[in-house]
Chain A
C-alpha cells in the first residue's frame, strides 16, 4: 500500500519537529493509540487499536526513527502484530518544509499488511489508512495549540 500527501500545520518547523519526536504528543494524536513509550534514543514501543473493515485488533509493535535530519526530515519505520488479525509493517518518510509561522508536512507511506487484515481487509486498507492519517493530522494540529517543548520534556521525565 502506498500513500502520500501533505498537510499545512499552523506552527513553526522547530516546534513541529519537537512534537513529532515527543511520545506524549504522538500517543495523544495517533488514532487508537493506547500506549507509546520510548525504549531508546530513537525507538518506541506502541499499542494501537485499529479497525479495518470487519477486522478489528490491537496491534503491539515497535517503531524506530531513522535517517534523522533534524529539524527537516526522518523516516519512521515500524511493525505491529495483531495476533490472528495479522500484521502491519512499513515506513513513512516525513519532511517538514518551513513557511514563516507555518510548516508543510509532506509524507510518503509504504506499508504492507498480512494475515486476516490482508485476506479480508485488502480493498479497505487504502481508505482506512487515509482516514487514520487525516485523524492523526487533525488531532496533531489541535494538540499543537498551546504546546511548548517544556511541557514535552516534563512529560518525558
Chain B
C-alpha cells in the first residue's frame, strides 16, 4: 500500500530521459536507406508560377528527384483540410480555399512550398534546391489586415479576400442597449502576430513498405491519430489501416504542432515515389516562415455601463488574419474559441461580436497556446481597466461589482457557454493578499524616489479548457468529436500499461497519469508505463491541445480504471468464493465486505491471465478501454497581479513582482502545474512586451525572421513568479480537474499591459510594449511637464 500520490509534487518520470539527452525525437530516428528532402520555398509573397526548371537540379550530384505541385496532383492527392466550418452572417460556410502540399499554380506567401528536391544527403538536397529555377509573374502582395479587403485577390474562391463575416448575438439588441447606456468605453486594440518557436523544429520521416503497401510516418505531432485521419480521409484516400503515424518525444508544440502540414504530407507521397524513406527536418529559418503563426487581430471593443459601472452590454468588432491558406482549425480560433469567452468573469447581459476573417499573403495563422482565449481575455481585461479609469472607479471595485458570484453557477453566458463553477472573488482576494495590494502606494513612492515609475496591474481571466464536448462543438461547426480514449492494460505480474490518445510533448503526462493510475490501484508509479503517440499501439485518440489532456484524457483513463475494477471484482469474487456484490475495492485491495478476506490487484491480475480454474462465463484478461466525452468545457479562472518599474530615462522595464492565483480545480501534481504556469507566463509576457511577427508591408517579406529580430523572452527578463491556488473542483469530470496549460499565456498580456499603463499613467499602449515605445512615451511626458 503506498501513500496517495495525487496532489504531490512528484519529480517527472520523463525527465530522467529528457534531461540526460536520452530523449528520442524524430530527427534522432534513422531509417535504412533514408533520403533527404529539401523544399524550394517562395522568395516572394505573391506571384503566379510561370515555369519551374528542374533540369540543373536533376543533374546535380546525389539528386534523386525534383517534384512540384503538378506531380502530386497527378496522383490525385487532395487539399489539406480545414476541419471546422464557420457559417457566416448570410448562412454560408466559410470560403474553404484549397491548400495543396506543394502549390501547383501560385505562390501565396514567402516560404510557400513550390517544389521539393530529394537527394542521398541533406547537403546534396540543399545544393539541388539552389538550382531549381522558378519564374513568376509577380502580383501585388496583400500584407496587412488593413489592406486585405481592398488588395489583389489571393484565392479564386474568396472575393475581397474574405474567408467569412461572422457574428454572434443580435446587433439590434446591442444597439438598443448602447442607446440607454450612461457611459461607453471604446478601445482599439492590436493583438500582435506571434511566431510559436518551439524548441524542436518540425520534422518528418516517411517510409513506404511496398510489401504491405503501407506507410509509416514519424512526425512532430501533438495528435498523431488526427494527423492520420486527415491524411487518410481528406488528402490521400489511403486507408487508415495503411498509415501508421508515430509522434515520439516532441520538443514543444504550443498548438503549432497540431496541424497536418505540407512538409509531412509531401514526405509521405515521396516515400512511395522514391520507394525509400524520406526525411525532412526544418531549420529555424523555415520554422519562422512556414510554421503556423498566431493571433494577429485588429479589434474595436465598446463596453456600455450604467452610472454605477455595472456592465450593460459589450460590442466587439474584430478583423482576424488567416494568412495565405486555412490551417486545420484556423476558422474556429477567432470565433468559437474567442467570442464564446467574451463574458469573461462578468455578468454582462448582452454581447455582440462581429468577426471578419481575411486572407493575406502571410504564413497561415492558427491556434497557439491559449488559442482565442488570450485574445478574448486581453480585450475584456483591457477595456474593463480603461472603463474603471474613465468612470473614476478602482479597477478592483469595477470587477467585483460585475463578477458572476458563486451562487450564480451554473451560469449561462450570453455567448453560448455555460460555466459550471467558479469563485472569482476568492482568487482575487488571495492575489490581493499575496501582492500586498494596500502597500502599493508606499512602494510607488519609494520607487519614485529612485527615479522609477512603478505600476500595478491585474487581470481576472477565465478560459475554456477540456476541448471539448462533442455535441456542443458539433453545433459550432466542428468536423470531429473531441472525446478521448484511455486504456489500462494490466500485465500478469501486476504492472500496468496506460494507453492514451493524448500526446505529451513537455507536459509531464507520464508522471501525472502515472500518479492517477498508481493511486487508483494502489500500485507503485514505477509499475505504470504510459504509451502514447503511436497510432498502431493506441487504439484511437484526439491528441493534446486546449489544455484537454488531463480533463478529458485523464478522465478517460479513470473511466477505463473503473472498468478494470469492475472486471477485477468478478475475478476477486471467484478467488474469494464470494458474491460480486459483496466485493469492495479500495487502495489496491479487493475484499469481501465485513470480513478480512482480500486479494490484491496484483493477485487478481495474475489470475486474470492464468485462468486455470475459471468458472464458466468469466472472461480472461484485465485490459479495459473507455472513451470519454466531456459534458461541458472546464472553466479555469484566476487573478494575476504584477508590478513593474519603468526607468523613464531609458524605457527599460522591470517586472518586479508577479502573483498568479489560479483555480484549476483538482491539481494532480503541483510542481508540474507550476511549471506550466511559468512557461505560459513567459510566453504571455513575450507577447506583451517583446514578440512581434512583422511582414514588410510593401514586399510581404517576413522581416522578423530570426531571433535577431524576433525577440523571445529570456530568464533574466522574467521575475520569480509567485504562485497560489484556489479550488472549485470541476463539477462534471471524475477528476474535478480543469486544465492548466494555457492559463499563464492568457492572463499575462492584460496583466502586464494594465501595469504598464498604470506606471505611465496613460490610457493605452499596444503590444508589444517595447522599451522603445515606453521610452518615447516617458520622454514626451517629461517634455510636456
Contacts and interface: CB of A to CB of B under 8 A. Distances in A.
Interface of A: 53, 83-84, 86-87, 112-116, 118-120, 122-123
B699 interface: yes
Nearest to B289: A119
Given A118-B702, A119-B706, 14 more contacts: A53-B708, A83-B129, A84-B129, A112-B699, A113-B701, A114-B701, A115-B41, A118-B110, A118-B705, A119-B703, A119-B705, A122-B705, A122-B709, A123-B703
Given A84-B126, A114-B43, A120 B285 contact: yes
Contact of A119 (B126, B131, B701): B701
A45 B151 CA distance: 35
Contacts, number: 52
B778 interface: no
Contact of A83 (B130, B699, B708, B709): B130
Q: Which 4 A-B pairs have the closest CB atoms?
A: A119-B705, A115-B43, A118-B701, A83-B130
A150 B696 CA distance: 47
B343 interface: no
B243 interface: no
Contact of B705 (A83, A84, A87, A120): A120
A8 B37 CA distance: 52
A114 B703 CA distance: 10
B520 to A, nearest CB: 51
Nearest to A58: B130
Given A83-B130, A84-B129, A118 B708 contact: no
Interface string B272-291: 00000000000001001100
A114 B706 contact: no
Interface in B697-755: 698-699, 701-703, 705-706, 708-709
A123 B708 contact: yes
Contacts of B701: 113-115, 118-119, 122
Nearest to B127: A83
Interface of B is mostly: loop
8 contacts: A83-B130, A114-B43, A118-B699, A118-B703, A119-B288, A119-B702, A122-B701, A123-B709
A114 B699 contact: yes
Contacts of A83: 129-131
Interface string B684-702: 0000000000001011011
Interface residues of B, number: 21
Contacts of A86: 43
A118 B701 CA distance: 6
Interface in B1-51: 41, 43-44
A84 B285 CA distance: 11
- The residue among A83, A84, A86, A119 with the most chain B CB atoms within 10 A of its own CB is A119
A118 B696 contact: yes
- The residue among B126, B129, B699 with the most chain A CB atoms within 10 A of its own CB is B699
B436 to A, nearest CB: 43
A122 B701 CA distance: 9
- The residue among B41, B698, B708 with the most chain A CB atoms within 10 A of its own CB is B708
B360 to A, nearest CB: 17
A16 to B, nearest CB: 33
B780 to A, nearest CB: 25
Given A84-B129, A84-B130, A119 B285 contact: yes
A33 to B, nearest CB: 20
Contacts of A53: 708
A87 B136 CA distance: 13
A118 B698 CA distance: 12
A116 B129 CA distance: 14
A47 to B, nearest CB: 14
Interface string B208-251: 00000000000000000000000000000000000000000000
